[in-house]
Amino acid sequence: MDLQLSDEHRMIRDMARDFAETEIAPIAADYDETGEFPRETIAKMGAHGFMGIATAEEYGGVGMDTLAYVLALKEISKVDASHGVIMSVCNSLFCYGIERYGSEEQKQKYLRAVASGDVVGAYALTEPQSGSDASNIRVTAELSGDGSYYVINGTKSWISSGPVAKYVLLFAQTDPDAKPRYRGVSAFLIDTEEPGFSRGKTEPKLGIRASATCEIHFEDYECPVEARLGEEGAGFKIAMSVLDAGRIGIAAQALGIAEAAYEASVDYAREREAFGQKIGNFQMIQQKLADMKTRIEASRLLIYQAALAKDKGKKTGSRYTLESAMAKLFASETAMWVTTEAVQIHGGMGYSKELPVERYFRDAKVTEIYEGTSEIQRMVIARQETGLR
């Protein structure tokens, strides 16, 4: 696989690997235990350029391509998926949308701050009644009488980095009577330090526990018109475009988790003895390892393909929904399958917190949920292939 990588790609991959092993590995288990947000290491990741790898240098990023981004994200996630998802949200869900659809003023204010790692960004689409059904949004944004600002009211749920984000990319209904409803959705850039914004409790999650998640609330929040992202009514198109990019990030995160679980299983199979020999000598263990490796490499190819399709789309305007959906679907299911097998190979020790395998198992599950369930991904793929809408 590395034969197709340039020297620059290998450099960013190796830099991310070294950073993860040096800065994140020693603290990952403690942050998983406490659920505390890893502010110090995230700040260091920003200083290294990991929070805006694919963002143009003029806006505080590194200016590399999507392949470089997934290579770095995979290495970070391989050591700790919590750090990986924080990195993914900032790069894919926040920075990408603003760089593609924002005005120059918005890029300088919001994009630069997050891409450079000075602050954390978040993406707010999900609501208590609408997860994957992104058109069923009830948060409202009503234009003021003088047309200078929007009054926003409502609640968003399951917002990754919500408890710590300075800026939030928010989607709200500006025309609840629009037919179909998604045509009434608009996008806004929210400053969480302004009046009318509040945060709910941090969710006690099964996995990626150091990635802080919460509800966010708006009560007569006044958002200036110049903070609207894109045209009024263009929010659904922006949201779907950003999710295409986000799925590639989640796929890379899943790949990192799967690789970590696989490598731990190989090491354990070489060391653990049963019935007078290493368990790696048993054919059943060998079969599990072979299948794990095969699925991991298939996932890697799908992710690389999606990354290349995204970069091609920048030049041609072509969509990459199909490629990103396939990569995310297969990689996330691979992560869950591989970590399950890893626990089996480790036996009782796989169920113990003394080893990180149980953390990989817990972290893997969320990759099947973020950016759409497996069923939604299959629907996206089927519709792309058949031409249905």
Residues annotated as part of the active site: 371
The residue assigned the tokens 């072509």 is 318
Contacting residues for 132 by C-beta, under 8 A, at least 6 apart: 372, 373, 376
Distances (CA, A) of 322 to 70, 291, 295: 17, 25, 19
Task: Count each helix (H run) and each strand (E run) in the chain, helices first.
Answer: 13, 10
Q: Rounded to whole angstroms, how far apart are CA atoms 327 and 325? A: 5
Q: How many CB atoms within 10 Å of residue 290?
A: 10
Instruction: Name the nearest CA neighbour of 85 among 12, 158, 1.
Output: 158
CA-angle at 101, arms to 99 and 106, nearest 5°: 65
User: 238 in helix, strand or coil?
Assistant: helix
**Pairing assessment for the beta strands 121-124 and 167-173 based on DSSP bridges:** parallel
Which amino acid would we find at residue 367?
T
Q: Dihedral of CA 191/199/239/138: which sign? A: negative
Structural tokens at position 77: 């996630």
**Pairing assessment for the beta strands 197-202 and 140-143 based on DSSP bridges:** unpaired
